[in-house]
């Protein structure tokens, strides 16, 4: 049984989708703990309702980034994690911290990387006039939103979209994409090798297919 530790900063909607998939699909894994990175992290209540161990670890309570990351690493390592999943964790991590979990820490970003790294992705996509937007799951490396891409989901940008409507469409795609990718990782289908993603055949009984839906299209699938 593999252990997953999830880091969040907000309401934890991607956490909820992963927890539901893990439970319903009976992954050979469990979410061992959820750590909240802000003084008020609403998603911790969702985790507690799922019976998952939680800890609130607000970076505002630490005088230095190094002290915060040392305590964060200790909190993660207490659960002997196989995977560290960033699900709306709004904190830039230092290279030494990333190196500690390299190859087993993943993130989801609300754009089709390498387009629109960083913040305000939906506003910037609308300003650029793109017709396709989406979400990316990638391995975490020291560069901001720059790690090897595991999978992406695309959504159309409609005439009349604003940040709110576009964000809602992308988030719905995230809720399908992220659990699927985490399951691939648990099953050993995707691994980080040097600076690229290496793919292996699906295990017996594992998830072998990914299908597009009406409003979200997977751009790549093994």
Residues serving a catalytic function are: 109
C-alpha angle with apex 120: 113 to 165, nearest 5 degrees? 95
Closest CA to 137 of 123, 125, 122, 148: 148
Which value, in Å, is the radius of gyration of the alpha carbons in the chain?
A: 17
Q: State the greatest distance between any 2 C-alpha atoms of the chain, in Å, as a whole number.
A: 49
Q: Say how many C-beta atoms besides its own lie within 10 A of residue 90's C-beta.
A: 13
> At CB < 8 A and 24+ separation, what contacts does 161-170 make?
161/126, 162/126, 163/122, 163/123, 163/126, 166/122, 166/125, 166/126, 166/133, 167/110, 167/122, 169/133, 169/215, 169/216, 170/110, 170/122, 170/133, 170/134, 170/135
Q: Under a CB-based contact definition with an 8 Å cutoff, are residues 182 and 151 in contact? A: no
For 165, half-sphere exposure in the C-beta direction (CA atoms, 13 angstrom radius) is 9
């Amino acid at each position: 049984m593999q252990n997953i530790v999830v880091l969040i900063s907000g309401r934890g909607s991607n956490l909820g989708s992963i927890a539901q998939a893990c439970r319903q699909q009976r992954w050979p894994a469990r979410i061992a703990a959820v750590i909240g990175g802000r003084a008020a992290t609403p998603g911790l209540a969702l985790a507690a309702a799922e019976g998952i161990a939680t800890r609130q670890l607000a970076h505002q309570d630490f005088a230095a980034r190094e002290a915060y990351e040392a305590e964060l690493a200790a909190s993660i390592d207490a659960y002997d994690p196989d995977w560290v999943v960033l699900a709306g964790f709004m904190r830039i991590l230092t290279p030494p911290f990333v190196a500690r979990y390299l190859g087993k820490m993943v993130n989801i970003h609300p754009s089709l990387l390498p387009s629109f790294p960083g913040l305000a992705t939906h506003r910037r996509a609308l300003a650029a006039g793109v017709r396709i937007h989406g979400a990316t799951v990638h391995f975490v490396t020291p560069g901001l939103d720059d790690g090897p891409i595991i999978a992406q989901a695309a959504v159309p940008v409609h005439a009349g979209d604003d940040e709110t409507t576009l964000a809602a469409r992308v988030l719905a795609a995230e809720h399908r994409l992220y659990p699927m990718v985490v399951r691939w990782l648990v099953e050993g289908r995707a691994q980080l090798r040097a600076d690229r993603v290496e793919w292996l055949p699906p295990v017996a009984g594992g998830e072998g297919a990914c299908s597009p839906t009406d409003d979200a299209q997977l751009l790549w699938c093994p």
